[in-house]
Chains A and B, each alone.
Chain A
Amino acid sequence: MKNSFLIFELKKELFAIDVNNITEVIDYTPVTSIPETPEYIKGIINYRGNILPIIDLRTKFNLEQKSDYNSMVIIVMSIDIKGKTVVLGGIADSVSNVFEINIMTTTKLPEIGTKFNTEYILGITENKDDKIIVLLDIEKIFTVDEITIINEAGT
């Protein structure tokens, strides 16, 4: 059982999301911010005549925010939150390629001793250049408000 994953980059780290959750990837467009919302919610955009909420994935994962968003991309995802389908866009630095992997064969992380928060991670794999790719459990990520994926203090 192989699944396809899309690789994206946040602050030089590689992450991947199951393509079944991804509708498309669009260029960054200016976002209308909404007052009185958590910081990671960047705002909303006009997505083909509908309102699309935009999440800043860097902020969501407690990574340092980028000052210039213009070169970034928006990954449009459709995920299940408490039985309801929610469409949202996640801002990432860039996306690269799609690869196939059997999740069962990925490395499971030990609970301690890594800089990654294992709760939201399906597994870990490496690309050709031996760079680590973190496979994210995207639906779990959006069921909680604040999460830390990478423990920056430890690095």
Chain B
Amino acid sequence: MTVKMSALSGIEGRKVDVLVVGGGNAALCAAIAAREAGASVILLEHAPRELRGGNSRHTRNLRAMHDRPEGVLVETYGEAEYWDDLLRVTGGETNEELARMTIRASAGLPAWMEAHGVHFQPSLTGTLSLGRTNAFFLGGGKALVNAYYQAAAKLGVEIIYDTEVTDLQLEDGTVRRVTAVSRGFPLTLLPRSVVVASGGFQANVDWLKEYWGEAAENFIIRGTPYAQGTILRNLLGQGVQQIGDPMQCHAVAIDARAPKFDGGIVTRLDCVPFSIVVDRDGKRFYDEGEDVWPKRYAIWGRLVAQRPGQIAYAIVDAKAAKLFMPSVFPAITGATISELANKLGLAPSTLETTISTYNKAVQPGNFDGSKLDDCKTMGLEPPKTHWAQTIETPPFIGYPLSPGITFTYLGVQVNERAEVLMQDGKPASNLWASGEIMAGNILGRGYLAGFGMTIGTVFGRIAGAQAARHARN
């Protein structure tokens, strides 16, 4: 098979069996698996080398089933419990067949990953609760991505950066031609098999605006700016079956001072349960103490997105200052409520009223930050049902909150062989998908820590192997 392209890319005239679109975990697993199955492989990564790896570079662990302690994974985490966890967070919006296959396959992942250069470490401080279910990458997701790029390069995968695939030309369920822009030059490829692992569309603000209107302008994208959804939209426009609610995205409340893209983990704020949260008008709008933060943080992105200006402010006093992990940005402090209000740009009198009303509603109780305690308000609307303590000890501390978008749920439908399905239910003949572009098949709603990496690794390996087999036949 011939490959045609611009002179700049240096791959003209090269024959290729498998083309991988994307450069994160799912793409790399596919490229490695395809190459190990004997195929020639080209991987096209939209980002430059320094920013390669998609959202994988912001991850840090992978959820793996294990029936006995293995490596860094302690105790046991069986299929039944894993499935229960998935069912709970998705509320049933999952494909049980694909989900169970993924869960079972996850048991073999850590060994495969280590064989390809990934190192693990015991779980991090502050994340001990995940030590049983999730294997942590030494150094985090970027170290994992580095290891895979090295493994892929060593195997002979050709990796081309700064190259955005713009079109997969589908005819009767077959990809005939692939068009890309490589370092500013047009590039056309004619691969035998194609694996799409190019992520969701969460960094495409114009697309988000289709569902969220102008509010999307105020969203912060926690991960890579390269998740533009170009290929997702391209495929859905050519008769590929879609899956997942296009309206939905995983949004958490993060520090509003975060950069527009790529702020990652350090912009998170865990203070909400110990605070009161007011909107731009200085008014509370939701029960901050509804549940422990890990179970509630995903709803706060949406809550803040629905407030005017998509902004809110968490306010605590000196008593609560050490109860949570702060974000990377300095706390905004005031000796008085009105000083803090001025610094936050809120009307001092409104904030003072909100806080004094709240303080009067706080009931005596035994404060315990580690569980659902009995500190609550009475006669307040909305109530604060746990960890309600008066806000009266200066200095007063405020953090601005914005919606931080992690990923989107919309994707292409696949089967258990990672084949992309057309609207008529038949698989495309030479097109496979892995990673966020198909994760909505299994994680249709909610969030399960480290599960995106599991899906990407399991389906990446399947997609790569299948694509190689097709190309070699």
Task: Judge: A and B partners, yes or no.
Answer: no
The residues of A with any CB-CB pair to B shorter than 8 Å are none
The residues of B with any CB-CB pair to A shorter than 8 Å are none
